[in-house]
Structure formats: C-alpha cells, structure tokens
Amino acid sequence: MIKVENKFSNRMVAYYFDASFSFIDTLADKHNCILLTDKNIAELYQSKFSSYKTIVIEAGEAFKQQYTVDTIIQQLIELGADRKTTLVGIGGGVVTDITGYVASVYMRGIDFAFVPTTILAMVDAAIGGKNGIDVGVYKNMVGTINQPKYLLYDFSFLETLPNEQWINGFAEIIKHACIKDALLFQELENNTLDVYKTNKDVLVDLIKKNATLKTDVVVKDEYETSERKLLNFGHTFGHAIENLYQLPHGHAISIGMVIAAKISEEINNLYSDEKERLTQLLQKYGLPIQLNFDKEKVLSILKMDKKRVKEEIDFILLNNIGEAVIMPISLTQVEDLVNQIL
C-alpha cells in the first residue's frame, strides 16, 4: 500500500493506493461508519460489507436525483447517524457524487470517504471534492465542493467491472491526455484497452498517473476560477446530451470532446490531423464519436449549463493534443457553430 497526502484548501486528503478494502477499519471507528453503495456492488460484495451498517441505492445516473438523497437521509436518521459518523461511498461516480453531497448537508456536514470501484471514479469522479445531483436533465445542478477524508483504492474491485465501464473510464483518461499530457496520449495510442485490462502493473501506473494529474489541477484551483475549468473539456456538449439521451457518461464526454475538437479546429487553429488523432483514439478504446441529436433541445439545455454566465459559456478548446485553453463563447456563436459544423 502507498499513502499519498494531498493538501486542499480546507483539509488534507489521504489517498491509499493498492490498499485492501478492510483497511477502512483502521481509518474510522467501524461502529460509527456507514457504507453507501449501489445494488450492483452490494450484490457482488455482500460478504465484504456484511459487518457494516450499509445503505444501498439503485444503480445508474438516472437515480442521481433528489429523491435518492431523500431516502438516504431517512436511512441515516433511522441508523442513528450522528455528527461523528463517517459515510463511506463505495462505487462509481454516481455513488461518490451522492455520498459527498449527502455527507456535506446531513447535520450540516459529516465526514465522508470514497472507495472508488470503477476506472472513471478512480481517475476522475472521486477526486477533487465536486459532488452533487442532477435536476431532471440538468447535470450536477445542485451540490457542493467539499473534500473527502480519504480515498481508498482497492484494485481488486476492477475484477468484476463490466467491459462497458472500462470503456467509460477511458473517456476521462483520454480527456486528461488531451488537455495536459501529450506523452500520455501517445502511450494510449501505443496500447489497447486489452493491454490495460490484462497487465495490472501497467493499469495501476495509468490510474495513479491520472489520479495525480487531476489532483494537481484541482489543488491549484479548487473552486474552479481558472485552471480547473480545463477539466471540463468535452463536458459542455457532453452534459447537454448525457441525460437527454441517457448515454453512459464516458460516451457523452467522448462525443462532447469530438465536438469541442471540431470547434477548436474552426476557431482555435487546431490542426485537422490532431482532431483526427483524437477521434481515432476514442474509437480505438470503443468510444462513440458522433450522435445525431436534436440541436434545438441540446442548445436549450446548454443554456442552463453551470458554466454559463449571462450570455457566455467558458468553452475548453484544444491548442494541440496535450494543451487546452479556456475560451468564452457567446451563446449566439455556439448556436452558429452548431449549425455550421455539426
């Protein structure tokens, strides 16, 4: 096991890599610890969780809504959770987002921690303290920024991860490479998903590299006034189509990155070759690169994106593979671009 401590604005967050799940007993009083997980994970790992108080929610983004929060809060009350309780979220991004949110508001805030069980949660969702829920089709409309006490990486959970979830996670890894790390992009070009699935050391190295990359960006700008915005690459159109078409997050983001690359080509001089490298890499990892969507509906959702301020949205565009830039674009220009290039 390797412990790495990262200093965020209000607290240190410990990352335990290559740890075993049972190590959580040494990190908080077991009798005042409540697990929160989803039905899929709960079914697969019953025996691991049987000695803990556990709250189980439905699996999937469709349930990342207020009514799920309501049921969790009822259960916390019934389980006698108090201000010293630690809520431990075990699962993918939906579980970690909801865990962080509930813990941030229950009794005006209790401790929480994450055991991410998907590639996506390990490299992205569990890191950086953004939590929240969707409001209908609007992604993450309600939430807070609040850091967990610790993240515990037990890679054995990946043994049961379905193939589509592996693919999903690689969308965020490719995003990291696009905005910050041309060498990582090359590594991904030289490998295949199967290489990572079958070589634990190579995989663990990839996960640590990506967790570190995201952490470094967030630590510099926790409340997203500048650099953290880069992590939104692909997420503006991605979020607008995700709930509307009930796409897996990675698929939505993949399509969103292709759109952002096209816009980058159009107004930011991204070479067409670079855009092609991106679309090829996404396809190589099993990700979709286009969707025939209802332009009007998508634009209307996009107008309520959190990144909008008055009539402008901060778009993340590429200069090159490995280097991104924040560019405010007016809603009118976004509409023109959509009609012109999509």
Q: Min. distance of Cβ 55 from a copy of itself in angstroms?
A: 15
Q: Min. distance of Cβ 253 from a copy of itself in angstroms?
A: 19
State yes or no: residue 328 binds a copy of itself (CB under 8 A).
no
Instruction: Give the x-and-dash track for 94-133 against a copy of itself (CB under 8 A).
Output: -------x--xxxxxx--------------------x-x-
Q: Min. distance of Cβ 251 from a copy of itself in angstroms?
A: 24
| CB distance 148 to 13 below 8 Å | yes
Q: Which is nearer to a copy of itself, 81 or 270 (CB)?
A: 81
Cα dihedral 270, 271, 272, 276, rounded to 10, equals -90
State yes or no: residue 66 binds a copy of itself (CB under 8 A).
yes
Q: From the list 25, 80, 295, 330, which residue makes contact with a copy of itself (rule: CB under 8 A)?
A: 80
User: Among candidates 6, 29, 31, 30, which has minimal Cα distance to 16?
Assistant: 6
Applying CB under 8 A, the site for a copy of itself has a residue count of 33
| CB distance 184 to 202 below 8 Å | no
Q: From the list 3, 7, 30, 84, which residue makes contact with a copy of itself (rule: CB under 8 A)?
A: 84
Residue 168 CB partners (closer than 8 Å, separation 6+): 118, 119, 120, 248, 249, 250, 251
Give the residue carrying structure tokens 């590639």: 119
Q: From the list 3, 7, 30, 83, which residue makes contact with a copy of itself (rule: CB under 8 A)?
A: 83
3-state SS class at 201? helix
Sign (positive or negative) of CA dihedral 54, 55, 60, 64: negative
What ranges make up the beta strands (E) of 197-322? Answer: 308-309, 312-320
Q: Min. distance of Cβ 316 from a copy of itself in angstroms?
A: 16
Q: Min. distance of Cβ 310 from a copy of itself in angstroms?
A: 7
State yes or no: residue 32 binds a copy of itself (CB under 8 A).
yes
**Which residues, numbered 130-149, are part of the site for a copy of itself (CB under 8 A)?**
130, 132, 135, 138, 140-145
Length of the chain: 342
Q: How many CB atoms lie within 10 A of CB 180?
A: 21
Taking contact as CB under 8 A, which single stretch among the options 46-54, 72-80, 260-268, 290-298 is the one that binds a copy of itself? 72-80
Q: Min. distance of Cβ 274 from a copy of itself in angstroms?
A: 31
Residue 312 CB partners (closer than 8 Å, separation 6+): 328, 329, 330, 331
Instruction: Give the x-and-dash track for 2-31 against a copy of itself (CB under 8 A).
Output: ------------------------------
Enter the DSSP assignment of 233.
T
Taking contact as CB under 8 A, which single stretch among the options 81-89, 205-213, 281-289, 319-327 is the one that binds a copy of itself? 81-89
CA distance 234 to 49: 36
Q: From the list 304, 328, 330, 336, which residue makes contact with a copy of itself (rule: CB under 8 A)?
A: 304
CA distance 182 to 95: 31
State yes or no: residue 268 binds a copy of itself (CB under 8 A).
no
Q: Min. distance of Cβ 70 from a copy of itself in angstroms?
A: 6
Taking contact as CB under 8 A, which single stretch among the options 34-42, 73-81, 288-296, 315-323 is the one that binds a copy of itself? 73-81
Sign (positive or negative) of CA dihedral 115, 121, 126, 131: negative
For residue 103, give both structure tokens. 């813990």
Enter the DSSP assignment of 145.
B
Cα–Cα distances (Å) from 35 to 21, 24, 26, 54, 279, in that order, read 12, 11, 15, 5, 39
State yes or no: residue 331 binds a copy of itself (CB under 8 A).
no
Residue ranges in contact with a copy of itself by CB under 8 A: 32, 66, 70, 73-74, 77, 80, 82-84, 101, 104-109, 130, 132, 135, 138, 140-145, 303-304, 306, 308-310
